């Protein structure tokens, strides 16, 4: 096959980004006249294979191996490498999930073939595929092409393609074998766990007041809290604020925190790094206040204010309380 | 423990990023450079492990032109014992396989127990170099590390998964870890540290050229299809217009 889609297990379901990869592969196959296949593995391989076979993905390849029943970087990297060698695809597509970031670079190193990561777009005009990636914290875009011969490993950023566009179909399932040895696995993983949410449920909030680095210092957090209260909303933050210890992790929005889509997302002093944006770009109205007119947050904002949040917040609070 | 820490010099969050007329790179002369954020956390973690064990060595390693010696000095001033500078022109050099092979070449003779790198760089964000180096050197790897426990020839790390989930993973040594921001509080260099850094060794190595596997065709400012309504005026006017927008356009008041 020409395009191999690597699907990730999310507790017995195909990971959301896997469905997006299917949509990406279908576009690529359509535009370039290429054939497809989807790879599933792990303890939920049967369930994933059944789900994948309901899409127009050419065929589904299922790898059963007890050393792959739970995830390890060593096992998954070696298994995917072997499947690539067996199937000889030109493109290997992944969602840019945390698991993929953990092992796919090792597949790239094993094969000495490039891994073009975290793409937001793909252009297939003229039969050449050009991938578009954000750089410099999303301030600039770059067009990147692979140089060497394939296979090329490619990952797409969350929501670069819509899972709703994944065309259903009926694909056959085939089993493939990989040779793994227990001595290859140099890690031992414990069960995943969640840290206490601390009573913060941002996903159901209609109004979110979210603060970033621009809030300046810890002493200014109560100011933002007052604004959130005055608006009847919840207080959230981007990663730097949580990293600094100014707010608990339960308040974090973004790829490593919560994903939200409130009626209004008020971004205060948030630059708009992609790790944050993936968690809030589905908001119905985004209002951004930032003193840097070049901040990437303005690219996705519905309403923008270039100004100092520390000047604007107190006056907003005053105005709201005066109402 | 002998720990190598990869540090990268990247444009600061507030730095201008004018695009060079050839549309292949930014004008580096106009860029204000800093140490990559997650690398700073990686360095701090290495220094703390060394201090907690009262033994070991922290070696900082960086790749790029002469200008990167600024971040190397900064790392030495914070407490790294010595440094390796892989001297190479990095304009247009985005290929992680090529970058990682330079690092692997420079590191392989040193037999490090641990290699730390930031999770990803704030410039290209490829998020691969540390993991690839681990594979190239036959080490165990773990990414997105949020906490590290050492002891008994093994290490245990807390890895960040998606959507607020975590997982503890034990690894055999040697291992290459990519470090997530926020797992510690990075120190500032002391005056004594800054003075002492001047005497520390920076070994400069010149790498063998390797073929790139991916190429940057064009770099540009993204244009958004989204129409952003800019609210302008004095602070008071902006506040008044914002309240109006909340009430009448977004309808949350």
Contact A242 B13 (CB under 8 A): no
With CA atoms as reference, the chain B residue closest to A307 would be: B235
B60 min Cα distance to partner chain A (Å): 22
Mean pLDDT, residues A35-51 taken together: 97
Question: Residue B174: is the preceding peptide bond cis (ω within 30°)?
Answer: yes
Angle at A262 between CA A256 and CA A267, to 5 degrees: 65
Contact B125 A137 (CB under 8 A): yes
Q: Is residue B156 part of a domain?
A: yes
Contacts of A302 in chain B (CB under 8 A): 226, 228-229
Counting residues of chain A whose pLDDT is more than 70, the rounded percentage is 98
Contact B167 A189 (CB under 8 A): yes
**DSSP tally for chain A: helices H, then strands E:** 9, 18
Give the confidence band of A204 by pLDDT, cuts at 50, 70, 90. Answer: confident
Contacts of B113 in chain A (CB under 8 A): none
The hierarchical CATH code for the domain A202-321 is 3.40.50.1220
Which of B13, B141, B246 has the CB atom closest to A73's CB atom? B141
Beta bridge partners of B85: B62, B204
Torsion-angle region of residue B251: left (phi > 0), alpha (psi -120 to 50) or beta? left
Contact A142 B171 (CB under 8 A): no
Count of other CB atoms within 10 angstroms of residue B150: 17
B106: CATH: 3.40.50.620
Over residues A152-172, the pLDDT tens digits come to 999 999 888 988 899 999 999
3-state class of A249 per DSSP?
A: helix
Over residues B105-155, the pLDDT tens digits come to 999 999 999 999 999 999 999 999 999 999 999 999 999 999 999 987 789
Domain count, chain B: 1
pTM tops 0.90, yes or no: no
Residue A168, Cα to own-chain centre: how many angstroms? 23
Q: Are B69 and B47 in contact (CB under 8 A)?
A: no
**Exposed / middle / buried, residue A108 (Cβ in 10 Å: 0-12, 13-18, 19+):** buried
Containing structural domain, residue B51: 2-205
Contacts of B136 in chain A (CB under 8 A): 109
Question: Residue A151: is the preceding peptide bond cis (ω within 30°)?
Answer: yes
Per-residue pLDDT tens listing for chain B (253 residues)? 999 999 999 999 889 999 998 898 999 999 999 999 999 999 999 999 999 998 999 999 999 999 999 999 999 999 999 999 999 988 878 999 999 999 999 999 999 999 999 999 999 999 999 999 999 999 999 999 999 999 877 899 999 887 778 899 999 999 999 999 888 999 999 999 999 999 999 999 999 988 889 999 999 988 777 789 999 999 999 999 999 999 999 989 8
Contact B213 A112 (CB under 8 A): yes
Answer yes or no: is pLDDT of A323 > 70: no
B143 min Cα distance to partner chain A (Å): 5
Q: Which of A129, A132, A173, A120 is nearest to A151 (CA)?
A: A129
Phi, psi of B205 (to 5 degrees): -120, 145
Q: Is the minimum CB–CB distance between A295 and chain B shorter than 8 Å?
A: no
d(CA A96, CA B143): 14
Q: Which of B46, B115, B117 is nearest to B79 (CA)?
A: B46
**Exposed / middle / buried, residue A273 (Cβ in 10 Å: 0-12, 13-18, 19+):** buried
Q: Is the minimum CB–CB distance between A81 and chain B shorter than 8 Å?
A: no
3-state class of A13 per DSSP?
A: strand
**At the fourth CATH level, which superfamily is domain A3-184?**
HUPs (3.40.50.620)
pLDDT at position A250: 86
Residues 9-68 of A with CB under 8 A from B: none
Answer yes or no: is pLDDT of A188 > 80: yes
Contact B160 A186 (CB under 8 A): no
Instruction: Number of A to B CB contacts under 8 A, please give it.
Output: 256
Mean pLDDT, residues A240-254 taken together: 90
3-state class of A64 per DSSP?
A: coil
Mean pLDDT, residues A55-81 taken together: 96
Answer yes or no: is pLDDT of A195 > 80: no
Check if A3-184 and A202-321 are the same fold. Answer: yes
Please count the CA atoms within 13 angstroms of the CA of A251 that sit on its side-chain side. Answer: 25
Q: Which of B91, B140, B96, B89 is nearest to B6 (CA)?
A: B96
pLDDT at position A115: 97
Please count the CA atoms within 13 angstroms of the CA of A311 that sit on its side-chain side. Answer: 13
Contacts of A141 in chain B (CB under 8 A): 219-222
pLDDT at position A266: 97
Helix (H), strand (E), coil (C) string for chain B: CEEEEECCEEECCCCCCCECCCCCCECHHHCCEEECHHHHHHHHHHHHHHHHHCCCEEEEEEEECHHHHHHHHHHHHHCCCEEEEEECCCCCCCCHHHHHHHHHHHHHHHCCCEEEEECCCCCCCCCCHHHHHHHHCCCEEEEEEEEEEEECCEEEEEEECCCCEEEEEEEECCEEEEECCCCCCCCCCCHHHHHHHCCCCEEEECCCCCCCCEEEEEEECCCCCCCCEECCCCHHHHHHHHHHHHHHHCCCC
Q: Which of A123, A152, A129, A143 is nearest to B216 (CA)?
A: A143
Residue of A102, A209, A282 for testing the chain B interface, max B β-carbons within 10 Å: A102
pLDDT at position B50: 96
Give the confidence band of A41 by pLDDT, cuts at 50, 70, 90. Answer: very high
Q: Is the minimum CB–CB distance between A196 and chain B shorter than 8 Å?
A: no
pLDDT at position B154: 86
d(CA A78, CA A84): 10
Contacts of A66 by beta carbon, 8 Å cutoff, 6+ apart: none
Please count the CA atoms within 13 angstroms of the CA of A294 that sit on its side-chain side. Answer: 12
Which of B95, B132, B235 has the CB atom closest to A109's CB atom? B132
Answer yes or no: is pLDDT of A198 > 90: no
Which of A108, A207, A319 has the CB atom closest to B132's CB atom? A108
Phi, psi of B51 (to 5 degrees): -65, -40
- Cα-based torsion angle of the residue sequence A32, A15, A7, B167 in order, rounded to the nearest 10 degrees: 140
Strand B33-35 relative to strand B57-64, pairing? unpaired
Own/partner pairs, A223-231, CB within 8 angstroms, 24+ separation: A223/A310, A223/A313, A223/A314, A223/A317, A224/A268, A224/A313, A226/A313, A226/A317, A227/A266, A227/A268, A227/A313, A227/A316, A227/A317, A227/A320, A230/A316, A230/A317, A230/A320, A230/A321, A231/A207, A231/A266, A231/A320, A231/B246, A231/B252, A231/B253
Domain boundaries, chain A: 3-184, 202-321
B187 min Cα distance to partner chain A (Å): 13
């Amino acid at each position: 096959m020409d395009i191999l889609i690597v699907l990730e297990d999310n507790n017995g379901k195909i990971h959301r980004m896997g469905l997006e990869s299917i949509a990406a592969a279908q576009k690529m196959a359509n535009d370039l006249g290429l054939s497809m296949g989807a790879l599933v593995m792990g303890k939920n391989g049967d369930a994933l294979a059944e789900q994948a076979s309901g899409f127009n993905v050419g065929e589904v390849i299922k790898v059963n191996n007890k050393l792959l029943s739970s995830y390890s970087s060593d096992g998954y990297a070696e298994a995917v490498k072997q499947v690539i060698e067996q199937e000889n695809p030109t493109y290997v597509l992944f969602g840019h999930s945390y698991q993929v970031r953990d092992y796919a670079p090792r597949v790239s190193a094993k094969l000495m073939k490039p891994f073009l990561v975290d793409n937001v777009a793909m252009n297939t005009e003229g039969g050449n595929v050009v991938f578009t990636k954000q750089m410099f914290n999303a301030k600039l875009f770059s067009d990147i092409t692979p140089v060497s011969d394939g296979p090329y490993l490619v990952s797409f950023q969350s929501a670069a393609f819509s899972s709703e566009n994944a065309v259903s179909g009926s694909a056959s399932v085939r089993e493939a074998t990989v040779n793994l040895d227990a001595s290859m696995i140099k890690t031992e993983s414990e069960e995943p766990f969640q840290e206490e949410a601390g009573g913060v449920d941002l996903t159901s909030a209609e109004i979110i007041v979210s603060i970033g680095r621009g809030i300046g210092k810890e002493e200014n957090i109560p100011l933002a809290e007052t604004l959130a209260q005055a608006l009847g909303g919840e207080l959230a933050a981007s990663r730097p604020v949580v990293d600094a210890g100014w707010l608990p992790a339960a308040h974090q929005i973004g790829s490593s925190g919560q994903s939200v889509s409130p009626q209004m997302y008020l971004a205060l002093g948030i630059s708009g790094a992609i790790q944050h944006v993936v968690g809030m770009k589905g908001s119905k109205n985004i209002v951004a206040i930032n003193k840097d007119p070049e901040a990437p947050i303005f690219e996705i904002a519905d309403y923008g204010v270039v100004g100092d949040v520390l000047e604007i917040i107190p006056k907003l609070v005053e105005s709201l309380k005066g109402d | 423990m002998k720990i190598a820490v990869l540090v990268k010099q990247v444009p600061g969050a507030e730095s201008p990023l004018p695009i060079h007329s050839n549309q292949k790179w930014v004008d580096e002369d106009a860029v204000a450079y800093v140490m990559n954020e997650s690398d700073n956390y990686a360095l701090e973690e290495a220094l703390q492990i060394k201090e907690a064990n009262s033994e070991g060595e922290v070696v900082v390693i960086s790749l790029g032109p002469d200008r990167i010696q600024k971040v190397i000095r900064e790392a030495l001033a914070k407490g790294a014992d010595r440094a390796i500078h892989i001297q190479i022109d990095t304009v247009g050099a985005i290929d992680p396989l090529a970058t990682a092979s330079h690092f692997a070449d420079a590191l392989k003779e040193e037999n490090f127990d641990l290699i730390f790198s930031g999770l990803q760089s704030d410039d290209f964000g490829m998020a691969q170099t540390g993991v690839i180096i681990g594979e190239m050197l036959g080490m165990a790897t773990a990414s997105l590390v949020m906490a590290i426990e050492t002891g008994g020839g093994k290490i245990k790390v807390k890895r960040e998964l998606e959507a607020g989930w975590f997982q503890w993973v034990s690894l055999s040594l040697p291992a290459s870890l990519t470090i997530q921001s926020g797992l510690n509080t990075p120190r500032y260099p002391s005056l004594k540290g800054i003075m002492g850094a001047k005497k520390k060794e920076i070994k400069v190595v010149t790498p063998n050229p390797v073929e790139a596997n991916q190429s940057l065709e064009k770099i540009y400012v993204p244009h958004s299809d989204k129409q952003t309504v800019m609210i302008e005026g004095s602070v008071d006017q902006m506040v008044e217009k914002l309240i109006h927008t909340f009430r009448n356009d977004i309808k949350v008041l």
